[in-house]
Structure 1
Amino acid sequence: MSSPVRDHLISAAERLFAERGSDVVSLREINTAAGSTNASAIQYHFGGRTGLIRAVLEKHDVAIEARRHDLLDAYESEGGSDLRALCAALVRPLAAELDVDGGPGYLQLCADLFNRPNPTFDLDALAGSSYGRWRDLAQPLLSPEAVRLHRRFDSLRFTVSELARRSRTGRRDHRLFTSHLTDLVTALLAAPVSDQTKRLLRR
């Protein structure tokens, strides 16, 4: 349930995450930045750090999901075989967050979560999301080796990392950047798997 204090805590977290990354910002810093005088405000409203992170993600995921489903609907209506168009459906909904209030903090949080040595996220939730739908549509366009090497997840991790980096540049026109990022993601998915890598996969 929304409240002014809860909203201020989320906004403060987004701002600090964008500036410094989510892993080094303390709950006390977020509480102070939000102007809260209650030291246990985050615990009260979110149940702790994990709940706050979930709230930041949920704030942005609704719009991202809608944007991506719209693009995937268009992709399927046009025949569903253009890999670059499919990659645009991965990149563009996230790139839109560059211009959204709190979006840079969201992107940095995603980059931090996906770049951990052992990323933790709800695979069942992803499977039922627009990303899960994107993964299913991408699979027939990839080689079996590319699927085994988790290139679809690598594409998502690369996308959010590059967008988080972009958000710190202060630039406002992201059209060229987004188009080029889409090209790079397309190339990542379509790149041939070398004979050496294939041999190593078979071992």
Structure 2
Amino acid sequence: MGDATRERLLRTAERLLAEHGIDGVSLREITRESGARNVRAIQYHFSDRDGLIRAVLGRHAPDVDIARDELLDRWEADGADGLRGLAGALVRPWAAKLTDPDGGPEYLQIYGDALTRPDPLFDLAQIGEPGTSLHRWRMLIEPMLDADAIRLHRRFMAILHTITELARRARAEREGDHRLFVSSLVDNVTAILAAPPSDETRSLLRHRRR
């Protein structure tokens, strides 16, 4: 079983997982639709369902990382647009997938499903492994956030809101100009990051830490 079979499985999984949801399609269906002859082809190439989903998401990770690193390089060079510039560096590389004909909208839908399902595929509080552009973004944004906001995982809230909204947009199958939607999403993410915790929230947080 070679690279061609692996690629067919990835493409088929991308389409079916986006259409039916992570838990809405069986590995057997994916194998059959891909045309793979060996019924254990997915296990051979990806080990299990989680491995397949991670491979589908990983197919798009290099594009996103390159785009985000470019924006972060630019931000570090001139501090462009302050906090909103960093919010844009989070949002825009993923938003570019809305118009990527090579499975971009499907990727966003699957990523949103993976993050919001009852049993997420990722450690939600630690999303963004070292060496990725998302980890770099997390480190750059941290000094700009309220200390209590960091303890409350405000960065993850911004990530989750971004992916959820982009997945919703991708699922709506809207074509054309996404600029207003993306700009508004950057505004919303900026507000999430900048909003100080209330006195009530701070009090409850101090009580929990005792």
Are 2:50 and 2:121, in contact at CA under 8 Å, matched by a contact in 1? no
Identity of aligned residues (%): 53
Show structure 2 runs of 5+ residues with no match.
none
1:130-145 equivalences under 5 Å are 130-145=133-148
Identify the range of structure 1 (111-120 vs 11-20) with the bigger mean alpha-carbon deviation.
111-120
Q: Which amino acid aligns with 1:148?
A: R
Whole-Å Cα distance in 2 between the matches of residues 6 and 18 of structure 1?
Answer: 18
Displacement of 1:120: 4.4
1:105 aligns with 2:99: no
> Does 1:166 find its partner at 2:164?
no
Matched, 1:36 2:40: no
| AA partner of residue 167 (structure 1) | A
- Aligned 1:30-179 pairs, distance under 5 A: 30-79=30-79, 82-100=82-100, 101-117=102-118, 119-121=120-122, 123=126, 126-172=129-175, 173-179=177-183
Question: Which of the residues 172, 188, 191 maps onto 1:187?
Answer: 191
**Which aligned segments of 4 or more residues in structure 1 are displaced greater than 3 angstroms?**
116-120, 122-125
Match of 1:19 in 2: 19
Greater mean alpha carbon deviation, residues 19-28 or residues 183-192: 19-28
Letter in 2 for 1:115: T
Shift of 1:151: 0.8
Contact 1:17 1:109 in 2 (8 A): yes
Counterpart contact for 2:31–2:42, Cα < 8 Å: yes
Query: 1:25: Cα distance to partner?
Result: 1.9
TM-score of the superposed pair, with normalisation by structure 2: 0.89
Higher mean alpha-carbon deviation, 86-95 vs 28-37, is at 28-37
The residue aligned with 1:3 is 3
1:124 offset after TM fit, Å?
8.6
Quick one: structure 1 residues 125 and 141, their matched pair in 2 at CA, closer, same or farther if it must change by over 3 Å?
closer
Q: Alpha-carbon deviation of 1:50?
A: 2.3
SS of residue in 2 equivalent to 1:127: coil
Task: Compute the displacement of 1:10 (Å).
Answer: 0.6
Shift of 1:91: 0.4
Name stretches of at least 5 consecutive residues in structure 1 with no aligned partner.
Answer: none
Which of 1 and 2 has higher RCO (CA within 8 Å, sep 6+)?
Answer: 1
Contact in 2 for aligned 1:18/1:106 (Cα 8 Å): yes
Aligned-CA RMSD value = 2.0
Query: Which amino acid is the alignment partner of residue 148 of structure 2?
Result: E
Deviation of the 1:33 alpha carbon: 2.0
Instruction: Report the Cα distance in structure 1 between the residues aligned to 2:183 and 2:2, rounded to whole angstroms.
Output: 36
The count of aligned residue pairs is: 203
